[in-house]
Amino acid sequence: MSCRVLVVDDSAFMRVRLREILESSGATVVGEAANGIEGIKKFQELKPDLMLLDITMPDIDGLTVLKEVLQFDSQAKIIMVSALSQKSIIMEALQSGARDYIIKPLDLHKAKEVLSKV
Binding segment for Mg ion among 30-38, 54-62, 63-71, 93-101 (CB under 5 A)? 54-62
Residue partners of 50: CB distance under 8 A and separation at least 6? 3, 4, 5, 6, 27, 77, 78, 79, 118
- Applying the rule CB under 5 A, the residues between 55 and 84 that interact with Mg ion are 56
What whole-number distance in Å separates Cα of residue 86 and Cα of residue 42? 25
**Closest CB to Mg ion among residues 2, 14:** 14
Q: Which CB sits closer to Mg ion, 15 or 43? A: 15
The correct pick among 10, 39, 50, 103 for binding Mg ion (CB under 5 A) is: 10
Q: Does 32 bind Mg ion (CB under 5 A)?
A: no
Q: Give me the phi and psi of 107, to 5 degrees please.
A: -105, 115
Scanning 5-13, 63-71, 74-82, 100-108 for contacts with Mg ion by CB under 5 A, the matching segment is: 5-13
- The number of helix segments (H) and strand segments (E) in the chain equals 5, 5
- Judged by beta carbon, residue 2 or residue 13, the one nearer Mg ion is 13
Residue 7 or 22: the one with the smaller Cβ distance to Mg ion is 7
Determine the Cα–Cα distance for residues 118 and 98; give it in Å rounded to an integer: 11
Alpha-carbon distance 102 to 1, whole Å? 17
Residues near Mg ion, by CB under 5 A: 10, 54, 56
